[in-house]
Amino acid sequence: MQRNVYYQTGLNIKELTLGTITLPSNVLMAPLAGYTCYPFRMMCTELGAGLCFMEMVSSNSLNYKDKATQRIIFTTPEERIKALQLFGNDPRIVETIACSEFMSGFDIIDINMGCPVPQIFKSGSGSALMGDLRRASQLIRACKKSGKPVTVKTRVGLNEQHLIAAEFARMCEDSGADMITIHGRSRSMMYSGEPYFDQIEQAKSVVNIPVIANGGLNSVKDIERMMNLTGADGVMIGRYALENPFIFSELTHKKITKDKYKLLQEQIALTSKYYDETFTLSYIKKITGFMMRGISGSKPLKQELYRCGNISEIKEVMNRIFKGEMQ
């Protein structure tokens, strides 16, 4: 069931239902390693994102209660919909995690079947699963035993000679997946090149579950083009949201009175509240670096930003960076 709530020329922004969960919009935030921590997810949700995925975590790490992984999956009751992305290739371990008491605090399980980086691929996880549909199906079925909505993030194929988006989407639906997100590039293309819009369109045409389009979305124009050419049920935005988190409010027409400077001040406060200083410094420097893109003459200040050794210094530099943008 999908109920329209927003409209914009060239776009069909709407609620999206996954099992028993209704997302407020079909504009989603992708899981990004090192960025989609709790404060960033809360910011994107405030700005209009229908769902923000935690960065991917290893099912093996969760099985062994790895401390670094615990930081990645940190959340609070303030996060209304919690979506955890797993990667792994052992259905038994994945089932153990999915059905464990630990998972009771999460609402949606997303399985990464599209990560192209060598270390993930060589382990038989991520995009490697596009070459093993039987195992991919077993992983989805294992997660479905949790009783939670299960989603899959994948690509259009391993390489441009073997594009299988429709076949893979059909397998996902047959295995019980509630939604599939398709990055329009193959594994061999990594993060560059024109997405295969036709592959996403073909996948959409053969399944009844929502298909979300992803890849190469760096403006409203790109998103309109993706939606129009694929007929997808929604979009998932990646790195562009680091640079312009207001993309969510632009698409959903959500009224926001804050500027980037205000958002970053709130990010500092929230990150400092729940994370140690080392993580806070690293994260705030990275997210500020993205948000200051396009500000004329900011390069020297960016260099100064990365030399900051504490939060007070970051705030001082941040004030000079964004002073010209403040209303």
What whole-number distance in Å separates Cα of residue 309 and Cα of residue 300? Answer: 17
Active site residue 115: yes
Catalytic residue among 37, 44, 52, 115: 115
298 phi and psi angles, rounded to 5 deg = -90, -5
As given in the structure block, the two tokens for residue 124 are 């038989």
Using a pLDDT cut of 70, give the percent of the chain over it.
Answer: 94
- Positive or negative: CA dihedral 189, 190, 194, 197: positive
What whole-number distance in Å separates Cα of residue 54 and Cα of residue 164? Answer: 27
Mean pLDDT of 302-311: 94
What pLDDT, on a 0 to 100 scale, did the predictor assign at position 324? 54
Is pTM, for the whole model, over 0.75? yes
Residues 1-23: tens digit of each pLDDT: 343 344 344 578 999 999 889 99
- Positive or negative: CA dihedral 159, 83, 72, 213: positive
What pLDDT, on a 0 to 100 scale, did the predictor assign at position 65? 66
68 near 34, Cβ under 8 Å? Answer: no
Residues 18-52: tens digit of each pLDDT: 988 999 999 999 999 999 999 999 999 999 999 99
Mean pLDDT of 284-300: 90
**Which residues are paired to 87 by β-bridges?**
58
